[in-house]
A and B are shown apart, each in its own frame.
Chain A
Amino acid sequence: GAVVSQHPSRVICKSGTSVKIECRSLDFQATTMFWYRQFPKQSLMLMATSNEGSKATYEQGVEKDKFLINHASLTLSTLTVTSAHPEDSSFYICSANPTGGRREQYFGPGTRLTVT
């Protein structure tokens, strides 16, 4: 149980285009999902907290207009990287916190974004 999927697993896009990444909790509901970014040989940096039915909460330094987050249902959150640039190339990971007060997060496999 507690599986989180991400789609796509890898994506290559051209500079200036937008890319949407999906994060789904497959066998549980998640009121809260999180989006992280992981640079090579570095730790995970929290980008934003996605709350179902409300606006996302962004960490300091993360551009809201560039990284659009939508959490339309209890099993799906999406991250859209708008007007992507090469410096946005990274590994994006989502996690989901099950509803019902459980304090664990379950992580997706990540999405490797390469902007050319």
Chain B
Amino acid sequence: AQSVSQHNHHVILSEAASLELGCNYSYGGTVNLFWYVQYPGQHLQLLLKYFSGDPLVKGIKGFEAEFIKSKFSFNLRKPSVQWSDTAEYFCAVSHSGGYQKVTFGTGTKLQVIP
């Protein structure tokens, strides 16, 4: 069975600081990788996704993630965070093929201090 681990449960940063959130997955086959964001009081939104090709993926709002197959990792990065990035971030994985069952990590709560 596939699983996803996010190393940081709660991250506090000052505005303009750089962000990196860790995500590791365990699955032996070909995977699809996602980062979702949940702003306070809102529903999940897709930040970015990786299916194949260039392992460096750029998403919305200046976020990017890099798929490193040898490390089973898909870390999320942003060079300079803003207060509006305060939210919970979920890494998720599904395996290619089948009916796209998605497994979520436990989430990382990001708090950006003005």
Contacts and interface: CB of A to CB of B under 8 A. Distances in A.
Interface of B: 32, 34, 36, 42-46, 49, 51, 90, 94, 96, 99-107
A43 B43 contact: no
Range for the number of chain A residues in contact with chain B: 20 to 34
Contact of B102 (A46, A51, A108): A46
A103 B90 contact: no
B94 A43 contact: no
Contacts of A45: 104
Interface of A: 32, 34, 42-46, 49, 51, 93, 95, 97, 103-110
A78 B46 CA distance: 23
B43 A109 contact: yes
B106 A43 contact: yes
